[in-house]
């Protein structure tokens, strides 16, 4: 590793005055950071930039049968997105989904994590693995499995599924919510449980000496201390909800109640298949921005409450 550039003066001050260390560091940093930076640029930054560019294009024709040309259209596509009733219906649908499903899922995850961390249970290792196992099932496969389990004729629970239309228009959103919950509760449980394990035991002992029972320790000591972990899981759940695609798309072969614009990403896929790339790109950009803003706002709000 030789390079002609002079030693950098910005490395940490207490470094020993080694002969080549400054030079080495600059080269080493480039080698360590370079590959990720290049890939991140190629497959994150440039595609996003290109999607924004594409979303500003529009197709123009000379007369009805003239040759189609792509020209700069300004915010034409965005105007189309904001007037697109189906798109907004899909956004409202996933927001409703998130408002109900995320608290239920995280509530269950927190309950299981607290039980795993309490002295009440036997066989903790078994429960931990059994609850986590569904995380290894891809969304598509989970949707296929539950599709059969919901089916009125093929389900092992056909006594129930024969009379309740889990895949009908009224319930299908909540049937999807159940699939997502089934897959992700164990994962979120483990994140919260890991945070619980990181709390020093002395804190509990102090609380116990003060006469607190298990219930009070859970509410007043454990939950406040794992709030950062819960916030982390909440942010990832919000992002996941807005991006819902694999489960509804797969369930479409079991249910006629899921249309081609059921979720925002399904709308992107459908629009891109038309193909109307410019409009699809505009929807993608709006969705990515909405996701970013929502998770950012959530982080800010909860941080204020948690650390006020």
Partner 1 sequence: MSTSTVPRRVQGVTPSNRSGPMRESLISRGAAMLIMGVFTLYFLIPIYWLLVSSTKSVGQFTTTAPLGFTPDAIPNFAANIGRLFSYNDGIFPKWIVNSVLYAGAGAFLGTVIAGMCGYALAKYTFRGREAVFNVVLSGVLVPATALALPLFLIFSEIELTNTFWAVFFPSVVSPFGVYLARIYASSSVPDELLEAARLDGSGELRTFFTVAVRLMAPALVTIFLFQFVAIWNNFFLPLIMLRDQTLFPVTLGLYAWNSSIGQNPELRSFVIIGALVSIVPLIIAFLSLQRFWSGGLAAGSVK
288 sits near partner 1 (criterion: CB under 8 A) = yes
Which residue's structure tokens are 């207490």? 14
Q: Which two tokens stand for residue 63?
A: 């007369």
Interface residue with partner 1, options 59, 75, 104, 136 (CB under 8 A):
136
Cβ neighbours of 284 (radius 10 Å): 24
For residues 31 and 276, what is the distance between their CA atoms, to the nearest angstrom?
41
* Closer CB to partner 1, 64 or 277, in the complex: 277
259 sits near partner 1 (criterion: CB under 8 A) = no
Instruction: Specify whether the CB–CB gap between 132 and 186 falls below 8 A.
Output: yes
Contacts of 266 (CB under 8 A, 6+ apart): 90, 245, 248, 249, 260
Dihedral (Cα; 85, 91, 92, 95), 10-degree rounding: 180
301 sits near partner 1 (criterion: CB under 8 A) = no
Interface characters, 151-190, with partner 1 (x: CB under 8 A):
--xxxx-------------------------x--xx---x
Q: Residue count at the site for partner 1 (CB under 8 A)?
A: 110
297 sits near partner 1 (criterion: CB under 8 A) = no
For residues 166 and 255, what is the distance between their CA atoms, to the nearest angstrom?
9
Cβ neighbours of 175 (radius 10 Å): 24
Binding window for partner 1 (CB under 8 A); candidates: 62-70, 86-94, 169-177, 196-204 = 196-204
Interface residue with partner 1, options 58, 216, 243, 276 (CB under 8 A):
243
Instruction: Tell me the C-alpha to C-alpha distance, in Å, between residue 155 and each of 140, 158, 161, 162.
Output: 18, 5, 7, 9
* Nearest-5° Cα angle at 127, 125 to 133: 100
Binding window for partner 1 (CB under 8 A); candidates: 30-38, 59-67, 160-168, 169-177 = 30-38
Instruction: Specify whether the CB–CB gap between 94 and 245 falls below 8 A.
Output: no
Residues 76-105 that bind partner 1 (CB under 8 A): none
Binding window for partner 1 (CB under 8 A); candidates: 69-77, 88-96, 97-105, 225-233 = 225-233
Interface residue with partner 1, options 242, 255, 258, 262 (CB under 8 A):
242
* Closer CB to partner 1, 20 or 305, in the complex: 20
Binding window for partner 1 (CB under 8 A); candidates: 65-73, 74-82, 83-91, 199-207 = 199-207
Interface residue with partner 1, options 76, 95, 145, 165 (CB under 8 A):
145
281 sits near partner 1 (criterion: CB under 8 A) = yes
């Amino acid at each position: 590793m030789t390079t002609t550039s002079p030693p950098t003066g910005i490395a940490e001050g207490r470094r020993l005055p080694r002969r080549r260390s400054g030079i080495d560091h600059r080269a080493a940093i480039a080698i360590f950071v370079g590959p990720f930076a290049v890939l991140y640029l190629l497959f994150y930054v440039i595609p996003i930039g290109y999607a924004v560019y594409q979303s500003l294009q529009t197709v123009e024709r000379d007369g009805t049968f003239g040759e189609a040309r792509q020209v700069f259209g300004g915010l034409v596509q965005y105007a189309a997105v904001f007037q697109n009733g189906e798109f907004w219906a899909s956004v409202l649908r996933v927001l409703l989904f998130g408002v109900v499903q995320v608290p239920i899922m995280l509530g269950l995850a927190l309950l299981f994590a607290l039980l795993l961390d309490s002295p009440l249970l036997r066989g903790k290792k078994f429960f931990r693995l059994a609850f986590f196992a569904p995380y290894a099932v891809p969304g598509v496969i989970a949707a296929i499995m539950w599709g059969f389990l919901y089916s009125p004729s093929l389900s092992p629970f056909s006594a129930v599924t024969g009379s309740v239309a889990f895949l009908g228009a009224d319930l299908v959103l909540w049937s999807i919510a159940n699939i997502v919950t089934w897959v992700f509760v164990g994962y979120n449980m483990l994140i919260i449980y890991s945070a619980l394990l990181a709390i020093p035991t002395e804190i509990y002992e102090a609380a116990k000496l003060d006469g607190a029972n298990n219930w009070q320790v859970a509410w007043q000591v454990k939950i406040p201390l794992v709030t950062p972990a819960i916030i982390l899981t909440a942010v990832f759940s919000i992002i996941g909800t807005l991006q819902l695609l694999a489960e509804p798309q797969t369930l479409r072969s079991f249910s006629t109640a899921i249309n081609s614009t059921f979720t925002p990403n399904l709308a992107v896929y459908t629009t891109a298949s038309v193909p109307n790339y410019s409009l699809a790109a505009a929807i993608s950009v709006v969705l990515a921005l909405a996701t970013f803003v929502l998770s950012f706002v959530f982080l800010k709000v909860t941080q204020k409450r948690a650390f006020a």
